[in-house]
Structures are given as structure tokens and as C-alpha cells.
Chain A
Amino acid sequence: MQRTTHRSLLLARPVVVALAAAVALTATSCAKSEDDAADGKKSPAAADAGQKVVTPKPGSRTCTVDAYGGRKIDLKGATVGFSQSEKEANPFRIAETQSIKDEAAKRGVKLLTANAQSQFSKQISDVQDLLAKGADLLVIAPLNSDGWDPVLQAAAAKKVPIVTIDRKINATPCKDYVSFIASDFVEQGRRAADRMIEATGGKGEVAILLGSAGNNVTTERTRGFKERVTEKAPGLKIVFEQTGDFTREKGQQVTEQLIQSKPAIKGIYAENDEMGLGAVAALKGAGKKAGDIEIVTVDGTRNAVQGVVDGWISGVIESNPRFGPLAFQTLDTFTQGREVPQDIVIQDSAYSADNAEQDLGKAY
């Protein structure tokens, strides 16, 4: 419809090319952020983040090499493939990948890594690549729970044991994969409720900032919290439940509306640290003081624990991302022929005013 003349086309291309070049140049060269001056950046997961397993219940199911149908190998000298689901853009993923890498280095194991960048099809081909590159053992942080059949078949054909971390694969344990290592999100919700009951004295109105809708983390952290509140502190009323989509901005906006319409609110339970920090920003903006409203969050990122130190956040329940030691210990035990549990729950710690300052280094 337009008369795009020859001249204009010739003109347009250099414009676009020059633009791209300019962007690339300015972006990479002379940036200077606030932190550049004061260096001394923390290295995530550098602090010893030793990890404990919650003592398994007696009679819980276990798995051995013989039952799985693999062969015994020595973990030293073996090649381990690690497939990460999401890009290392948030503290949890950064700490998780770092922990796997650190543990592999510590044990002198050759580690191959891949990152699916939140695309499930890429994760499937990532794992197949890892297998093709000669991984003897696999550690997978699955993006989805379903759709793993092609990978499981390929791994079974090569008799490669799989350990999944933080999310579960819907398949048969000890047949399709060896063990699943994760946090107990319901338990995190319960512990957050305990902390909230303690902070508010078990009476008054509290609000929940929910995570993204349709996410199992959201539903489980909500369930645990509500269960414990109903059971232990019937005087604590949950009068407000709105989603903050796990982001700081939405957490801030929703909290602003909340403190407007329900000025009597005594506590806010944020289902992740980012929303909790958004709530803190909203309270600061509304001229409240630290401690006016009790905030309890889940995750244990450095910023949130700093918030506890500053008095704005009453408690942070940790969701431990450091799966490295536990994953390798499980693989080690398994490949030596001894039995390992099928479901391994990682122990989460917690931060409150008592320990936040000295444990700040453990936060990720």
C-alpha cells in the first residue's frame, strides 16, 4: 500500500544497523551502577550453607541400585549432568545452581550444566544432550512435572540414575527416577503461621499476599498457613487474600490498597520475600513505622533477612535452595549400592530478630 521507494529502503537499513550497534556499544562499555564504587559483592551460597535432611519417617520408602536396575559406580570420576529449569535471574535459582557447582567442585566430580530458560522443550533437549555428552548421573530441576517420558526412556536405556530437585516429576520413583529432594511448602506455611501467631499474640486481623494463581507453591504455602491458624489461633482472622504474583511491585500495590481499606490489619503473610519487601515499601510510603504491622515472609533472600535486621519484617521462613550437598550425597550413597529414601525433605531454617544479624551471611 505504501510506495516504499528504493531510496528509503537504502536509508532504513543503515539506520537499523547503526541503532543496533549503538545499543550494543553503550550497553556494554561505560555502565556504572551504584554498587560499582563499593565493591565486595557477596558471592551467593559462599557462606557455608550446610544442609540437613529432615529425619525421614520410619517406614518411608527407599531405593537401591539393585531395585532401580542400575550399576554401581564410583561418584569420583563420574560425570554428572545438571539441568536447571529457569534462568538464573532470581536469588533462588542463582543459589541453587551455585550450590550444585560448588559441591561438584568440592567432590572433584565432572559437572555438565544446561539451562532451559523456562522453556520446557529446551529442557527436554538439554537433558538428552547431557545424556549424549556422557553424563553418568543426572540432577534435574524440572520446569514441569509432566511430559518427561522421552527423557526417562532415554535415561533408562542408558541406566542413568536421576535425582530431581525442588519440583517433582510425575513418574514412578525408584523405577523412572531415584529420589526427589525438596522443601515441604505446606510445612513452610505452617511455620509462617507459627511465627505470625507469635508476633501478633494470636489475635487480630491478618492478610495474605498470595503467589501466582495456579502455582503449587502458592496453594501449599496457603494451605499450611490456614491449617495452622485455624488449629492454633482461632482468634487470628484472615480477612484479606489477594495475589501479588510473587513480584515486589504487585506486593506494594496490593498492600497500599490493603492498609487503606483495612487500617486495623495487624499482620501480613507474604508467600515470598519479594512481595514482603513490596509490602515494606508500601508501609514506608504510607508513613508507618517498622513494627507497626507484622510481616512474615517465606524464602530467605538476603534482602528480606536484612529487612528482619532493620525491624520491618518480623520473620522469614527459609526455603532452602542449596540442594548441592544433599543431591550429591544421595547420588554417592546410591551408587555405592546402599539404600536412599525416595522422598527427601530438605531442612529449612528461619530468621527472626534473634538470629537475623548473625545469620545474614547464610541468606542467599
Chain B
Amino acid sequence: MAEATLKAVPPDRTRVLQWLQAYGVYAGVALLMAVNIVVTPHFLTAENFRTQAVQVAPVIIVALGMALVIGTEGVDLSVGAVMALAASVTALYLGYGLLPALLVVAVFAAGTGLANGALVAFVGVQPIVATLALMVGGRGLALVLLPQLEDLRNPALASLGSGDVLGVPYLILIAAALALLVAFVVRRTTFGRQLLAIGDSRPAAQLAGLPVRRVLIVVYVACALLAAVAGVLATARLQASDPTSLGNLMELSAITAVVVGGTPLTGGRVNIAGTVAGAVLIQLLTATLIKHDLPPSWTQIAQAMVIVCAVYAARGRGKR
């Protein structure tokens, strides 16, 4: 669907793998749905779908940014830390009202993204190392700003977390809007093309005269801003700012969603619809195991199996 590629698909790969790569994640979601409808009581209720969608919304939003970064052959490990940072900054500035607090959050997130982008684009540090530094530092800063959980009572923030339009929670609407926006940017804009070109081959993009550094910085800033949105939404839902635990391991969930969704880690291709489906797949898997009260360790094993399957399917085409 919202998949853009710059290189032609090699025609000699086996068709099954191609099909799995393109549609495996949707098949997985459909399969889990079918299984759940049969075996899980109270699964086919609007309330249940609402719960799952609300829980997965922050993961989707973070994964969107992660997909962009991975499209440039990078990775952003600092997203969880940015979520924590967003949570603590929200709590710190909420006294001025919701909107000013959100602006300050945006400034902090943009700062983190800028630092990531500058390290990658100008200093030439590898993305995994650059963002690792910000992952550690970002959470540290979040904890310095707000050392312990703080309850928030701002009514505007509360309605952001639990309000809805015609029964559809704001969280879902925001996640859907952002997904459409990012898909549009990747498929229909020059910026999207440049991003994929850089991911395909940075030296070639540079030689072709593309603004490589600018694009990279914008991508990392966008990723950090999306993570901050997710952090604020998660905080709004919890009605408390908890920088110690918010966003823990979020970077791994986001990378899993992106990879399972059929975006190769080697860059040059971004599959937004697949990323959304990947996040939904993991959410459904977790929900299924929790609803049937299976030990939590099973969730981890099941996730690992999904990742291995996804990587196996991607094996044929990810290589260059």
C-alpha cells in the first residue's frame, strides 16, 4: 500500500517470500483476529477494539518516526527517552496551561532530534551510537527534571487522553491522522523521495546533489517530535507523568513494528501501512496472551517468533 521503492524488485526471487514480505503482516493480523473471534470471549465488542486501538496508538506514532529513520538506513534508539522527556516536561510546564506546555515539549523534542541529526549528519557518528547516547542522556535529563511520578489534574490534558469524537478516542484519531500524513510525505513529496534515496545510497545521493544533511536532520527531528507526541498522549491517558517507566523498551517495540511491517533495516524503502499493521499485530498478540492469562514470558517468546518470521520473509529482498 503506502510503500515506495526506488529500486526495481529483482524478478527472480521466490514468489512466496515476496508475498510474505508484502502481505505477511496483514495475513498475521487477520489470522490472529480469526483465532480470537473463535476462542476469546467478549472479543467482538466495540469496547474491546477501542481498548486495543487506544493501547496501540502511542506505539504506532513512535513507529512512524522510526520507519522514517530506518528508511534512511538509520535507527533511533532515543525514542523511549524522548517519551520520558516529554512526560516530565509536560508535568513541569503544565502550570502555564496545556498549549504552552506542549510547545515547550516540542522544543525539547526538537532539540533531542537536532542533536541526533547533527551527530549523524555532520559529525558522522553511526546512528545506533549517536542515538544510544541520547537514549541514556535523554532519560537522565527527564529524571533530573522530574525525579518521581507526579499526578496531573489538568482537565484539558485529561480530555486529550480519554475524550472522543463520536465514540472514537482522540488518541486513535491522532494516530490515524499522523499515519496518513507520514504515508503522504513518503509517497508524494520530494522530501520523501530524497529520504529514500539517501537510505538507498548516501554517497550516490550526495553526488546527485541532494541536501543529504538537511534531510537527515529533518528526519531525526520528525522522529523525536512523533515520539514526544506519543509521550504526551501516554501521559494524558495515565493522568500522571512517570519518567522512570514511561517509554521503557519503546524503541524495541517500534523497531519490531517497523521490521515486521516489511521495512528493511537496510534503508531505501518505507512501508507505512505495514508498520501500522506490525504494531497492531504485536498488540493483538500481547492482548491474546494476556486475555487467556498465559505467563508473560510467553509474550516475549511469541514476539521473538514473529520477528524471526518477519526477518526470514525479508531475507530475500533486504540484501543488497
Verify if B316 is at the interface (C-beta below 8 Å from A). no
Q: In the complex the two chains form, is B122's CB within 8 Å of A32's CB?
A: no
Verify if B297 is at the interface (C-beta below 8 Å from A). yes
**CB-defined contacts of A261 to chain B, threshold 8 Å:** 40-43, 48, 291-292
Q: Mark A256-287, 1 if CB is under 8 A from B, else 0.
A: 11101101000000000010011001001110
**CB-defined contacts of B91 to chain A, threshold 8 Å:** 33-34
Complex CA gap A258/B94 in Å reads: 32
Verify if A167 is at the interface (C-beta below 8 Å from B). no
**CB-defined contacts of A336 to chain B, threshold 8 Å:** none
Complex CA gap A240/B290 in Å reads: 9
The stretch that binds A, out of B26-34, B240-248, B263-271, B301-309, is B240-248
- Report which of B51, B92, B206 forms a contact with A260, defined as CB distance below 8 A: B51
**CB-defined contacts of A26 to chain B, threshold 8 Å:** 104, 107-108
Verify if B19 is at the interface (C-beta below 8 Å from A). no
Q: Size class of A's contact patch?
A: 35 or more
Q: In the complex the two chains form, is A12's CB within 8 Å of B47's CB?
A: no
Q: Mark B140-159, 1 if CB is under 8 A from A, else 0.
A: 01011101111111100000
Complex CA gap A241/B292 in Å reads: 10
Complex CA gap A11/B292 in Å reads: 56
For chain B, residues 232 to 259, give those with C-beta under 8 angstroms from any C-beta of chain A: 234, 237-240, 242, 244-246
Q: Is the interface of A mostly helix, strand, loop or mixed?
A: helix
Verify if A37 is at the interface (C-beta below 8 Å from B). yes
The stretch that binds A, out of B111-119, B172-180, B186-194, B274-282, is B111-119
Verify if B55 is at the interface (C-beta below 8 Å from A). yes
Q: In the complex the two chains form, is B42's CB within 8 Å of A263's CB?
A: yes
Verify if B93 is at the interface (C-beta below 8 Å from A). yes
**CB-defined contacts of B293 to chain A, threshold 8 Å:** 239-242
Complex CA gap A263/B40 in Å reads: 13
Q: In the complex the two chains form, is A32's CB within 8 Å of B93's CB?
A: yes
Q: In the complex the two chains form, is B242's CB within 8 Å of A247's CB?
A: yes
Q: Mark A81-114, 1 if CB is under 8 A from B, else 0.
A: 0000001111100100000000000000000000
Q: Is the interface of B mostly helix, strand, loop or mixed?
A: helix
Known A27-B145, A89-B147, A261-B42; contact A248-B240, beta-carbon cutoff 8 A? yes
**CB-defined contacts of A91 to chain B, threshold 8 Å:** 148
**CB-defined contacts of A285 to chain B, threshold 8 Å:** 162, 237
Q: In the complex the two chains form, is B141's CB within 8 Å of A34's CB?
A: no
Verify if A333 is at the interface (C-beta below 8 Å from B). no
- Report which of A8, A27, A274 forms a contact with B149, defined as CB distance below 8 A: A274
For chain B, residues 46 to 77, give those with C-beta under 8 angstroms from any C-beta of chain A: 47-48, 51, 54-55
- Report which of B51, B162, B202 forms a contact with A257, defined as CB distance below 8 A: B51
Q: In the complex the two chains form, is A33's CB within 8 Å of B92's CB?
A: yes
Known A9-B122, A19-B111, A23-B108; contact A89-B143, beta-carbon cutoff 8 A? yes
**CB-defined contacts of A132 to chain B, threshold 8 Å:** none
**CB-defined contacts of A90 to chain B, threshold 8 Å:** 148-149, 244
Complex CA gap A9/B125 in Å reads: 12
Q: With CB as the reference atom, state the residue of chain A lying closest to B114.
A: A19
Q: Which 8 A-B pairs have the closest CB atoms?
A: A32-B95, A12-B122, A261-B291, A247-B245, A31-B92, A257-B290, A4-B124, A243-B296
19 A-B pairs (CB sep. < 8 Å): A1-B203, A4-B123, A4-B124, A8-B122, A8-B213, A9-B123, A12-B123, A16-B118, A32-B96, A34-B94, A35-B150, A242-B293, A243-B296, A248-B242, A249-B242, A250-B245, A260-B42, A277-B240, A281-B238
Taking beta carbons and an 8 Å cutoff, which residues of B are in contact with A?
A: 40-43, 45, 47-48, 51, 54-55, 91-96, 104, 107-108, 111, 114-115, 118-119, 122-124, 141, 143-145, 147-154, 162, 202-203, 206, 213, 234, 237-240, 242, 244-246, 287, 290-293, 296-297
